């Protein structure tokens, strides 16, 4: 089991970063570039996923981390819905929709695993403190400064 020392080490954050890069590339050209409202909303949702994971990790309490991961998961669902809007408006193909949807679902699943782990800690103790091993397998431990 690995130890996570920085939010950049969290797989869900890494996936969210890739997703954000994809959204910015997608919305910078083509038909989506001309729909400023949808473009802005998609970018905000993608950035929110990354930002909430980072903010939660840096918060230094697992209770707040859980809250912010919930928000990140919600933003992942919001972005997935916006990909459907982009598809229905004719901005992206069915294949693109499937790919983007899969990326959002991957990120959401990774966030869910983090939530499960954090909720398994007794009293949502501060990560890095001594606590019994989690019953969740293949989930890293967290060590914060």
Q: What digits encode the pLDDT tens for the residues 114-133?
A: 999 888 887 655 444 333 33
Say which residue the tokens 């998609």 belong to. 42
Measured CA to CA, the distance from residue 4 to residue 128 in angstroms comes to 9
pLDDT of residue 4: 84
| Domains with residue ranges and CATH for the chain | 3-121 (1.20.1440.60)
**Residues paired with residue 141 on neighbouring β-strands, in sequence order:** 3
Helix (H) or strand (E) holding 142: strand 141-142
Q: Are 141 and 114 in contact (CB under 8 A)?
A: no
Q: Write b or e for each residue in 109-127: b if 16 or more Cβ atoms lie within 10 A of its Cβ, otherwise e.
A: ebbeebbebbeebeeeebb
Measured CA to CA in angstroms, residue 131 lies from 118, 134, 141 at distances of 11, 8, 10
Q: What digits encode the pLDDT tens for the residues 84-115?
A: 999 999 999 999 999 999 999 999 999 999 99
Which pTM value belongs to this model? 0.83
Share of the chain above pLDDT 90, in %: 72
pLDDT of residue 61: 84
pLDDT of residue 18: 97
Q: Is 138 left (phi over 0), alpha (psi -120 to 50) or beta?
A: left
């Amino acid at each position: 089991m690995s130890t996570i020392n920085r939010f950049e080490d969290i797989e869900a954050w890494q996936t969210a970063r890739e997703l954000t890069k994809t959204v910015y590339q997608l919305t910078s050209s083509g038909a989506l570039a001309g729909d400023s409202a949808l473009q802005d909303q998609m970018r905000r949702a993608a950035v929110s996923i990354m930002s909430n994971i980072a903010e939660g990790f840096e918060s230094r309490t697992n209770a707040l981390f859980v809250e912010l991961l919930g928000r990140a998961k919600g933003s992942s669902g919001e972005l997935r819905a916006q990909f459907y809007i982009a598809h229905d408006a004719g901005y992206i193909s069915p294949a693109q929709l499937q790919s983007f949807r899969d990326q959002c679902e991957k990120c959401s699943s990774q966030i869910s695993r983090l939530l499960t782990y954090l909720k398994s800690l007794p009293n949502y103790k501060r990560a890095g403190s001594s606590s019994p091993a989690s019953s969740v397998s293949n989930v890293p431990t967290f060590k914060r400064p």
